[in-house]
Structure 1
Amino acid sequence: MSERLLMVESELDTLFLVSQLLNSTHDLRSKLKGILEILHKRSGLHFGMITLRDVDDDSMSICEIYGDGIDRSIRYQPGEGLVGAILDEGSTIVVERIADEPRFLSRLGVYNPDLPFIGSPLAIEQGEVVGILAAQPCNAKFLGERARFMEMVANLIAHSVNMLRVMERKQHELASERDYLKQTLVKNYRFENIIGHSEPMLKVFDIIRQVAKWHTTVLIRGESGTGKEVVASSIHFNSACANGPFLKLNCAALPDTLLESELFGHEKGAFSGAIGQRKGRFELADNGTLFLDEIGEISASFQAKLLRVLQEGEFERVGGVRTLKVNVRIIAATNRNLEQEVAEGNFREDLYYRLNVMPINMPPLRERIEDIPELAAFLLNRISKQQGGRALEIKESAIRILMKHDWPGNVRELENRLERAAIMSAEGIIDREVIASTGLESEIGISRNTYAVKHVDLHDENMDERERVIAALEQSGWVQAKAARLLDMTPRQIAYRIQTLNINVKQI
């Protein structure tokens, strides 16, 4: 077989090995070092060098070079020496004898001046040069073929380098976006962003500032809509585990079987539909915070499973046998009277004490009416953003109406009412008339027994469900069975509505 054919076979074999190495899971530097070793041992291309271009100043720094005791700190500027010329021209340069090339600077001091030198650019899309592959053949035979072979290797390397740089850029963008979102979250959940300067809220602030310092279990108590989740978020983002995950779960939203899988995870095949292994919230929240809302709704059987995790910090996935340990801060919330639930045997006493290490009692809005002007301004700003930055203004006459209401739905009800008012205000100005158009004045009259509800049409399409139920109760003297008949409901149905709509039942 001729020498040329032997060289071609060797080059094909080398290209295959180079492709395999570039497709491996090694890091880039290890890949480039391996490529130079392959070129040296299998293709007679010695002192192989790969430089990469600095994106900031266009200079070239040595990424890898085959050989020992070589100064790797050398940098090449555009136009400087042969390497700089390749960078400038963006094309392969072949030198038959280094000693005859005036551009060769011999800064590395390793190349044989009597042998050839080949340098090929690592070029990507639109001819952009990201680096250079250079080596010294062991003789001057077939330099044209050797140069084409070097170009093929350089193209493979350039593709891999470009892919890595694209990935690094995307990772940097994602990291920047993550940091921005994290900073935004921290900013949004600073203690100052919990609205209110009333005496009850100042007491809450004092407690959460202290609680945030320690890795202790917190139980946030209060009626629905009082801002329990906001307080939980503030505790997390102002604590030592702020850089860890913050996960939430509404315990009332899932049955026991799904709740167990959601919190503890499951193994593949643990139940019908478990097509793969899944981590639960406890596992995902490791070294962070897990917020368990509506904790008073979990069943007695699940209470025992939860107690074990709180006591020992360990659990098994559903269908699993391996015990997992986690370090998770628990913040729980409930609107139930847990002491009564314990007394009636509905809630485990040991779990109650495990959760109630540091209680925070959120005051209902009716007990901090003086916070309404500040809350209204804050909520309107949020509604404005939701409506595309629309200018919204609330008048003092509207604020006075808002401060007369009992707000059984608390801050959530206030936000809903303001959003409804914003929608109904064509000019974005919310005054007494706009507030009245939402039905609030009528509702205030109902709650204070100053409005003639007996004359209210229960089938009025402008009334929402809560208003309709209150009107029926007033009309029937707050006898639920009579009110149910007026609304074509069963006593059980109206009792459920009263509970879910947070209606305070009058004792007459």
Structure 2
Amino acid sequence: MAVDIDITKQLEDLSALYEITRKLASSQDLSDCLEQAMKLLAEMKEMENGTVTIVNPLTGKLEIEVAHGLTAEGRKRGKYKIGEGITGRVVSTGEPIIVPHIAEEPLFLNRTRARGNISEQKRSFLCVPIKDGRNVIGALSIDRIYEDGLGEQAHVDLQYLTVLSSIIAQTVVRIQKVNKETQELYTENQKLKRELSEKNKINDIVGNSSRMQDVYEMIHRVVDSSATVLLRGESGTGKTLVAKALHYNGKRKDKPFIVVNCSALPETLLESELFGHEKGAFTGASDRKIGRFEQAQGGTLFLDEIGDISNSVQVKLLNVVQERTFQRLGSTEQISCDVRLVAATNRDLEAAVAEKNFREDLYYRLNVFPVYMPPLRERRTDILLIAEFFLEKYARENNKKIVRISTSAIDMMVQYHWPGNVRELQNCIERAVLICDGDTIKGIHLPPSLQISESSKKDNPYSLSVAVENFEKELIIEGLKRNNGNQTRTAKDLDTSLRIINYKIHQYNIDPKNYKL
């Protein structure tokens, strides 16, 4: 009879081990599968408070991964140093431990407080190491009440938990490996996205703002198309650069890129410039002239300031856009052209159409794929990037060793409204480089318009207190830059106390994180 009971118990143990192994093997979520395993231990083996504690590789501390029946608050409290308490000692030595009565064991910390008043309980505690090869990566522990004392059953249970711990170790390593590979794939994916974003950036166009990312996206969508592109935006926003990008990044890059500034030529000359003329077509036409449409054959024709062309030129341009054919002045011959047309304007074409100053049919022919270039005041995060680009360019051209822009100068540039957009910023930096004799562009090197803008924001720009505040703020920011945002080193660098630096940082609303490399 005793043999039958023994065999039955062994079968029950094997059944429980099978179910636990199945749960551990079928899940990709470590906490979930361990939680289910601890639940099965409680239900099938009467092993309560099953807990898996894993070494956190970042902190080096033991942290509870799962604990059956334990609250989230209890799990947070369940942190141990290696060597601390029973669990810490098991991880430190790599040897299992049985505590016959946890109420009588001084090393039992009960930090999770899951067992209530342990002094009133006759509860045993079994803890075994979880090993990956020779490395101890955690511990498995359970509570068990032995009515007749520990006896042989406690050692059988310890062996059972040791077998289970090896299965848990395999599960932990497997899932951690999968998680690591998943994280590496995610990191690689993010890296590829960043690289793709860098590839999507167009040469000579500087800007990482969300508004410019939209522009890059639009460019890449239409770059290999033959569709007519209409570039909209204020003067100086970089429409010419986008037109060049559309040509030199597309399939027509080996063909001509021809630019016509429509506002720079009178009506008669513009028509001749676009379509060409025959000898004797008008007074002074001593030779045949090849027009820009013919010159751009197979390539791109960029019509800048398209909103300024006269009505008669609009009519002829409409025919070219529709039929892709035209006639030279003084000729009846129809010439076919294969030209990618890019137009640009800073005018409100919709208003011009409403006022009958621009043909509606031509407007719709040109407005196939509009791209809006945002003004610089709507992409302020790009101001410093663009300024540094031009600083490097003009410092190199003028053989000057100017390496940076001061914080005060940056503040002035960011606060300015830039009516002339990128072109105005370019001229501003070129002027500053020519004036600057040191290695840093400062506020005094910027044009008076920017300095007026800065001073107008203060009630009394000439007050001593305002000047001192600005000087202090710039000193602190420069110190944070030198010390990678570290406030303690900045305080030492500026020969003051950390308390004062912290106070000033709060007073001037400075975020040290912005100056970490």
Compute the TM-score of the two structures, normalised by the length of structure 2.
Answer: 0.49
State the structure with more CA Rg: 2
- Normalised to the residue count of structure 1, the TM-score between the two structures is 0.50
